[in-house]
Structure 1
Amino acid sequence: MPSTSTAPQRLSAGERAAHRDPNVLRWLGGYTSSALGDNVYYLALSWAAVQAGTPAQAGLVTAVSAVPRALLMLGGGVVADRYGPWRVVVGSTAVRCALVLVAAVLLLATSPGLWALGAVAVLFGVVDAVFLPAGGALPARIADRSQLARVQGLRGLAVRLALVLGGPLGGLGIALGGTAGAFGLSALLIGASLPALLAVRVRDLPPDDVKPREPALAELRDGFRHIRHSPVLRPLMLAIALGDLGFVGPMNLGLNLLAEERGWGPSGMGWVLAGFGVGAAAASLLLAWRGRVARAGRVTAVTALAGAGAISLLAQAPSVATAVGAALFIGLFAGLAGALCGALLQCHAGPAYVGRVTSVSTLVSFGLAPLTFPLVGGAVDLWGTGPVFTACATISALSGVVILASRALRGAELPR
């Protein structure tokens, strides 16, 4: 593996590390509170849907928000670049808070049917299509380019914290106030992010990067041209897509099927997920501490290949303990590869194009990759978990192959 040394990044005179920058920390506090609110919202939505209909209907309600999110994501990137990611994040956060609050009021005042819950989910997905690209583009406007890897590490830690605490907080909200209480708690957490986000200072675009406003479709085409003409972004998008397509199926639905097949039960699956979380948190902590990884392109390729290998090994694990170890390595290597891909994307995207570039990568992660769930489930029914995990791992490994095959991406570096 290429050398990454263990010494943290040395900063130039006057430069402040992201984890000591009050502006970045304000953004991080807002991002964490919003992510916690999201996790509580999805738990509350699924619980309310289960109470109002059959399991199949509940599954449809919880999944329906993915449709507008996937259809409108690219347009959300155009909106983020046109109006600025900070404005879009603040505005969409306020709308998301209002939507969840409306759901809480509906549950307090009446017993809404599945149609009402589905309508809230669809509207939330529409707003998410704008919020997600802007949220991904915002770090590039609040931190020095040399600090973007560290910011990705801090963001990863926030995601891990939200995943760990979101479930218990949602359960507490349901226990104390019913489903309406959980929705209310979600609205409170999302709304609590607004003061921190409003206090974030955003850098203006360099004058040379300010472009005249064009029709939305023309701006979208311009974003695709920017990706196509970049020797780093073009293969990077393919690598991100392959990594997500091979990773999401086995580590979501596939893991449930694996635990059922091996008789590990819910507790065993919980331990495996905990192992993955520890590995992913360690990867994020490493980036947050170091601030920069030398030979970033090569390290991304190697960690992507190692993470794919660990996915294949997970399906062969003879015991829960072995599976936990494999999941830990998946979290560590795949988490590091994903964070480095995000940092490289933000460093090599033009400042005026970060929203559109982010929307393309986010579309794959949040729109297309979940569509593999039915394929993974059907394939497991036909061939079992072992062959399916191996096939998915092969697809994920192709992301590392793409990076190694691209001279520009293979040699890509993060700024000092």
Structure 2
Amino acid sequence: MRALLRSRQYLAFWLGQVTSTVGNQLTVVVLAALVVPDRGPGVFGLVLAVESAVMGVLLLAGGVVADRYSRSTVMAVADVLRLGGIVGFFLFASQGPLVPLLFAAAITGAGAALYEPAHRAALAQVVPEELRQQAYALDVSTKRIGSMAGALLAGVMLAGISPPKTLLVDVVTFVVSLVTLVWLRLPPVRTAAGPRTDEPGGLRGVLAEAREGLVEVRRRPWVSVLMLQGTVQVFFLFGPNYILVPMVSQARYGISAFGWVSAATLAGSVIGSLLGGRVSSGRPGLWAMNALAPCLLTPVCLAVDVPLWMFCAAGAVGSAGVGCFMVLWYSSLQKEFPEQVQGRVFALEGLASFGLQPIALAVTPLLVRFIGVAPFAVLAAVVLLVSTYGALAVPGTAQFATRTRKGPAVVESAVRN
């Protein structure tokens, strides 16, 4: 970590994005305070749904843009778009016509679709390969802390000043992020690879480049399987947890219980991501799968009435495993794929992992009403174990790398010659 923070380039990148994370979480809290009292929870849900839908639709295009142009510039443009969304929220969140508010949400979602692939891929240009695992560990852990700080800051400020004035603080965080990104001025990765003269323009060109990213992923079956694993686990476990954990914890232990569970989960995520940065093994995929396995403790606690401290401990241990997994997974993708396609790869990863989350959030209450919390939790635990350890049967998963055939094959070829 000391070696990372001695780099002025990485320090600027890190501080700018952590500041932006604080502002993003502050906006989520303040937006609820602006919309719900005057327009109702239904409109608040619609705003979040529009933002999420636009992000999902444009995410792959955002990966193409991140591979075509300077990633720091793409992130800066994304910040400008999201800043425009914040201004729209400031003007229309609590009053005025609904359409401009939804348009502001759409702009924010478009900015997120540009930002996420560029941010993941930019790290390879800022940090040398031997430090990327530690860089991801610091990135994941401080984002969790930044989210908590943003939520706490919003709560403190809302207690003293009006929501619109609180929202202006997020404008300051975007300005800080923009300054660091303008200072970085990362070169386009395509410049190093040389110009391409064979690609079509316009929408056909975007679709062709998106297809190239998909082909790169399909060439590596272990990557495809792990992206599918993320889709399955988000649908059956991580997505439903957003609904079931607060619902069950408040029903069993009281209205303040979810706060304790959330704090424990956040702490576990920070610890797990930092530990992930210290894993040094020829089989990081096996470590990552073993780290995911304790996530089944939360479904067990949903199915069985346990003390609150045990519920909190389950959330902390499971979240630590997810944090460790994410560090090993993202750093392995950086090593596996050429820089020229990493924006598209990370866009596909985000789309595969979280594309079904809105559906999971909508379907979970219906399934729970039909079969009950305990059977659904047992199903989630079984799906988690099968999808986690079943993925190890695919060559390359245990190593988080594509294995090349050496030894006997090379000898046989030499003998024939």
Query: TM-score interval w.r.t. the shorter chain?
Result: 0.7 to 0.9
Kindly state the Cα deviation for residue 302 of structure 1 after the two structures are TM-superposed: 1.4
Please name the residue that 2:96 is paired with.
112
Q: 2:171 aligns with which of 187, 192, 209?
A: 187
> Any idea what SS the aligned residue of 2:274 has?
helix
CA contact (8 A) 2:27 2:167 kept: yes
Q: Deviations over 1:345-365 (max 9, x none)?
A: 222122111000000111134
Kindly state the Cα deviation for residue 273 of structure 1 after the two structures are TM-superposed: 1.3
User: Greater RCO between the two (CA within 8 Å, min separation 6)?
Assistant: 1
Q: 1:358 aligns with which of 333, 336, 346?
A: 346
Q: 1:323 aligns with which of 292, 298, 311?
A: 311
Please name the residue that 2:412 is paired with.
none
Change (3 A) 1:240 1:203: farther
Counterpart code for 2:254:
G
Stretches of structure 2 that go unaligned for 5 or more consecutive residues are 200-204, 403-417
Q: 2:262 aligns with which of 244, 255, 273?
A: 273
Counterpart code for 1:97:
L
Q: 1:237 aligns with which of 227, 233, 238?
A: 227
CA contact (8 A) 1:278 1:328 kept: yes
Counterpart code for 1:72:
L
Whether 1:257 and 2:247 are equivalent positions in the alignment is yes
Counterpart code for 1:37:
G
Counterpart code for 1:333:
G
Q: Deviations over 1:92-113 (max 9, x none)?
A: 1122123313433557xx9334
Q: Which has the larger radius of gyration?
A: 2
Q: Which moved more, 1:319-328 or 1:279-288?
A: 279-288
Provide the rounded CA distance (Å) in 1 between the counterparts of 2:146 and 2:358.
Answer: 20
Change (3 A) 1:245 1:20: farther
Stretches of structure 1 that go unaligned for 5 or more consecutive residues are 1-7, 9-15
Would you say how many aligned residue pairs link Structure 1 and Structure 2? 395
Kindly state the Cα deviation for residue 17 of structure 1 after the two structures are TM-superposed: 3.2
Provide the rounded CA distance (Å) in 2 between the counterparts of 1:158 and 1:362.
Answer: 20
Q: Percent identity?
A: 24
CA contact (8 A) 2:227 2:353 kept: no
Q: 1:36 aligns with which of 2, 22, 44?
A: 22
Counterpart code for 1:285:
L
Kindly state the Cα deviation for residue 125 of structure 1 after the two structures are TM-superposed: 0.8
Please name the residue that 2:276 is paired with.
287
CA contact (8 A) 1:174 1:180 kept: no
Change (3 A) 1:370 1:162: farther
Q: 1:412 aligns with which of 371, 380, 400?
A: 400
- Could you state the TM-score of these two structures normalised by the residue count of structure 2? 0.87
Whether 1:347 and 2:331 are equivalent positions in the alignment is no
Please name the residue that 1:368 is paired with.
356
Counterpart code for 2:297:
A
CA contact (8 A) 1:209 1:351 kept: no
Counterpart code for 1:220:
A
CA contact (8 A) 1:303 1:337 kept: yes
Please name the residue that 1:86 is paired with.
72
CA contact (8 A) 1:23 1:201 kept: no
Whether 1:217 and 2:211 are equivalent positions in the alignment is no
Provide the rounded CA distance (Å) in 1 between the counterparts of 2:326 and 2:177.
Answer: 25
Provide the rounded CA distance (Å) in 1 between the counterparts of 2:280 and 2:166.
Answer: 39
Whether 1:312 and 2:299 are equivalent positions in the alignment is yes
Provide the rounded CA distance (Å) in 2 between the counterparts of 1:408 and 1:23.
Answer: 33
Change (3 A) 1:207 1:391: same
Kindly state the Cα deviation for residue 211 of structure 1 after the two structures are TM-superposed: 5.7
Q: 1:99 aligns with which of 85, 101, 126?
A: 85
> Any idea what SS the aligned residue of 2:73 has?
helix
CA contact (8 A) 2:50 2:102 kept: yes
Please name the residue that 1:300 is paired with.
288
Provide the rounded CA distance (Å) in 1 between the counterparts of 2:235 and 2:332.
Answer: 19
Please name the residue that 2:125 is paired with.
141
Please name the residue that 1:401 is paired with.
389
Change (3 A) 1:201 1:286: farther
CA contact (8 A) 2:62 2:113 kept: yes
- Could you state the TM-score of these two structures normalised by the residue count of structure 1? 0.87
Please name the residue that 2:238 is paired with.
248
Q: 1:386 aligns with which of 374, 378, 400?
A: 374
Counterpart code for 1:125:
G
Q: Which moved more, 1:54-63 or 1:206-215?
A: 206-215
Please name the residue that 2:37 is paired with.
51
CA contact (8 A) 1:146 1:292 kept: no
Change (3 A) 1:313 1:256: same
Provide the rounded CA distance (Å) in 2 between the counterparts of 1:184 and 1:207.
Answer: 38
Q: Deviations over 1:110-143 (max 9, x none)?
A: 9334333222112111221111111121112211
Provide the rounded CA distance (Å) in 2 between the counterparts of 1:206 and 1:277.
Answer: 38
Q: Deviations over 1:298-326 (max 9, x none)?
A: 1112112232x223322125111110111
Provide the rounded CA distance (Å) in 2 between the counterparts of 1:160 and 1:41.
Answer: 15
CA contact (8 A) 2:63 2:347 kept: yes
